[in-house]
Amino acid sequence: MRVALINPRFRLPIDTRTTAHLGLAYLGAVSQKRGDTVRVFDCDVEEQSLEDFVQEFKPDLIGITANTPQVKQAWRTAKAIKEVHDAPIVLGGPHVSVAAEGLDYESVERPYVDMVVRGEGEGPWLEISNKVEDFLRSSEDTSTAALMDPNKHIWDEMLGITYKTSDGQVYRNMDAKVINDLDSLPWPAYNLFRMNKYTNLQPATDHVDGARSFSIMTSRGCPYRCTFCSQSIMPIKWRARTAENVIEEWRHLVHELGAEEIGVLDDSANIRRDRLMVLSDMLIANKLNHVPWIFVNGIRANLADKVLMAKLKEAGLLRTAFGVETGNPDMIKAIDKHVDHDTIRQAFKNCKEVGLQTIGFFIIGLPGDTRETMQDTIDFAIELDPLIANFSMMTPYPGTKVYEIVKREGKLLMDDWEDYVFFEQKARYEMGELTAELMTEMYRKAYRQFYLRPGPIMRRLRAKDFWMNLPRNIRIARRTFFKKPEKTELKRVIEAEGRTI
Ligand code: B12
Ligand code: SF4
């Protein structure tokens, strides 16, 4: 069977990283293992038009991924495909998984979307593929309308999907089971991507060849529920792969794919300290520690003791991020982070003492924030002094507690899913005295106060990678420190082409 997996076009308005989509890489691996002919079409990097690709490849099954700001583009993509080719179109990813807000219905009710997969996709994707193949083999009428014929009852029992039958009725089936044994999953199929089209993990900081930069996930899920975090997609249950299984993939990335840096994308990699100690020992024993790797997302500060951090450094860890979020003691309690500032201080100290670089994630404009609490956040960032301080504008994603609070007590300033990005220097809601003006002012102040200090300036100027990335760094500095145009590149393109949804 021919299977197409599509990442809809959605370039961020900043020079951020573009990477091979790990979710699609996992689904592609499932399809390859099944024996399908698979093509990944990443609209961000392809030169061919989508329509040409579809007419040429003629897929039997199409999967499109969508996070919140991407979802409208996913619908446009589905519509454009259906206009030239008839095949079942399945949407998946974080946005459509928020069933609590009916976002699965929102997509499946579109005339050109046949089905939505909620949550982790590997199991349902395999089952959908099997069912579509059976149907194609056994039916004379192989149209999508026949596949979705309610009288055929093909989808009645399948878990994890919301779908539309050809009479227009929409059904939401029960959730699929969590994948407990992550070792049972095939490794992401990077062979399906044009790796030379992507950036490295942190293009503003490092000058690694993007084609040699890979991501890996050693665990899934997070047992915490911070009020701002879009954890709707992955189950609450934290699950980890065995160290042996991770090491095998790591070896494959280094020796077969030539990885020059590896990004560990886990939501909370250090939930079990002993697991990371074993993994580190194995990276050292297998001589894989010469390739630098980074915890790209925050690890838990309360589980980052000095012995562990030293061991991770020996195992090749170059840099780790921590979700600090706020510098105000009351605010950190209010967001259910379950960590205090002294613990965070200690975690940064531990990293610095063992020679690890750090990244701090901070949020400007949490519900309840005031000028003073936001200044506490900026001051705390300066005190911790990570190599990279990443301030984001609070963006209430559907399915989060903050979204509920803002809907109840505040006013959302976005009525378009395409605005759900947090690096655009624009406030996304207002609540009481927390006005858009104040948030924008503090957001810009955060970047200026943190980066325009002698320490960070000298650090940048002394780094070889800064000079190698000079044009990009100038663009980023211009956008960060000076007011930027209102419209994203994507919006301009969409408007110019007169495509609206
Ligand atoms: C790495 C990452 C990035 C990277 C790379 C993104 C990429 N191309 O994959 C970068 C830095 C570019 C990025 C940017 C953004 N990100 Co991001 N990112 C992540 C992160 C940490 C890991 C993604 C990942 O690889 N997951 C692992 C894979 C296996 O999971 P997955 O991609 O979700 O895919 C699985 C399922 O969703 C499902 N599935 C997905 N697609 C499909 C399609 C089909 C057909 C099917 C059947 C199933 C299916 O099956 C997959 C396998 O199980 C997640 C957090 C997380 N835990 O997922 C946030 C996350 C996805 N990002 C998020 C956000 C908000 C953003 C930004 C909007 C932030 C911003 N700057 O404003 C941008 C949007 C960028 C864009 N171009 O779309 C949110 C999304 C929330 C939402 N409601 O959409 C998340 C969930 C973080 C969070 N906890 O809040 N991100
Ligand atoms: S912010 Fe981090 S710790 Fe909090 S719920 Fe999200 S992934 Fe878990």
Q: Which helix (H) or strand (E) holds 325?
A: strand 317-325
Pairing of strands 161-164, 170-172: antiparallel
Indicate the average pLDDT of the chain.
Answer: 92
Q: Please, are residues 278 and 243 in contact by the beta-carbon 8 Å criterion?
A: yes
For residues 158 and 176, give the distance between their C-alpha atoms in angstroms, rounded to a whole number.
8
Atom number, ligand 2, closest to the C-alpha of residue 268? 7
In testing the pocket of ligand 2, which one of 222, 333, 363 has its CB within 8 Å of the most ligand atoms? 222
Ligand nearest to the backbone CA of 13: 1
Asked if the model's pLDDT at residue 243 lies above 80, the reply is: yes
CB-count burial class (<10 Å; 0-12, 13-18, 19+) for 218? buried
Atom number, ligand 2, closest to the C-alpha of residue 267? 7
Determine the average pLDDT of the residues in 107-111: 98
C-alpha neighbours within 13 Å on the C-beta side of residue 216: 26
39: its two tokens: 């093509």
Ligand nearest to the backbone CA of 338: 2
Computed on alpha carbons and rounded to an integer, the radius of gyration of the chain in Å comes to 23
Instruction: Give the pLDDT of residue 12.
Output: 56
In testing the pocket of ligand 2, which one of 219, 229, 332, 400 has its CB within 8 Å of the most ligand atoms? 229
Q: Is the CB of 421 under 6 A from ligand 1?
A: yes
* 2-172 CATH: 3.40.50.280
Instruction: Give the pLDDT of residue 485.
Output: 46
CA of 48 from ligand 2 middle (Å) equals: 38
Beta bridge partners of 131: none
For residues 339 and 79, give the distance between their C-alpha atoms in angstroms, rounded to a whole number.
46
Pairing of strands 37-42, 61-65: unpaired
CA of 97 from ligand 1 middle (Å) equals: 12
Enter the pTM of the model: 0.94
For residues 333 and 226, give the distance between their C-alpha atoms in angstroms, rounded to a whole number.
10
By three-state DSSP, how is residue 102 classified?
Answer: coil
Pocket of ligand 2 (CB under 6 A): 222, 224-226, 229, 231, 267-268, 298, 323
Atom number, ligand 2, closest to the C-alpha of residue 222? 8
What are the sequence ranges of the domains in the chain?
Answer: 2-172, 199-494
pLDDT in tens, 313-345: 999 999 999 999 999 999 999 999 999 999 999
Ligand nearest to the backbone CA of 26: 1
Atom number, ligand 1, closest to the C-alpha of residue 27? 52
Pairing of strands 429-430, 411-412: antiparallel
Dihedral through CA 148, CA 150, CA 151, CA 157, nearest 10? 90
Atom number, ligand 2, closest to the C-alpha of residue 225? 5
> Which residue has its alpha carbon closest to ligand 1 atom 29?
23
| Percentage of the residues of the chain whose pLDDT score is greater than 90 | 82
CA of 67 from ligand 1 middle (Å) equals: 6
Q: Please, are residues 317 and 282 in contact by the beta-carbon 8 Å criterion?
A: no
Give 482's contacts (C-beta < 8 A, 6+ positions apart). Answer: none
Atom number, ligand 1, closest to the C-alpha of residue 7? 8
Asked if the model's pLDDT at residue 486 lies above 50, the reply is: no
Reply yes or no on domain 199-494 having CATH 3.80.30.20: yes
Determine the average pLDDT of the residues in 138-166: 98
CB atoms within 10 A of CB 433: 9
C-alpha neighbours within 13 Å on the C-beta side of residue 409: 10
pLDDT in tens, 359-414: 999 999 999 999 999 999 999 999 999 999 999 999 999 999 999 999 999 999 99
pLDDT in tens, 160-179: 999 999 999 999 999 999 99
Strand ranges across the sheet with 357-364: 213-216, 261-264, 293-299, 317-325, 357-364, 388-393
Q: Buried b / exposed e across 106-120, counting CB within 10 Å, b at 16+?
A: bbbebeebbbbbbbb
For residues 250 and 257, give the distance between their C-alpha atoms in angstroms, rounded to a whole number.
10
For residues 399 and 95, give the distance between their C-alpha atoms in angstroms, rounded to a whole number.
9
CA of 234 from ligand 2 middle (Å) equals: 11
Q: Find how far residue 260's CA is from the centre of its chain.
A: 21
Determine the average pLDDT of the residues in 86-99: 96
- DSSP single-letter state for residue 431: B
CA of 93 from ligand 1 middle (Å) equals: 7
For residues 55 and 476, give the distance between their C-alpha atoms in angstroms, rounded to a whole number.
38
Atom number, ligand 2, closest to the C-alpha of residue 230? 6
Band (pLDDT 50/70/90 cuts) for residue 454 is confident
Q: Where are the beta strands (DSSP E) in 348-420?
A: 357-364, 388-393, 411-412
Best CA proximity match to 266, nearest among 208, 215, 193: 215
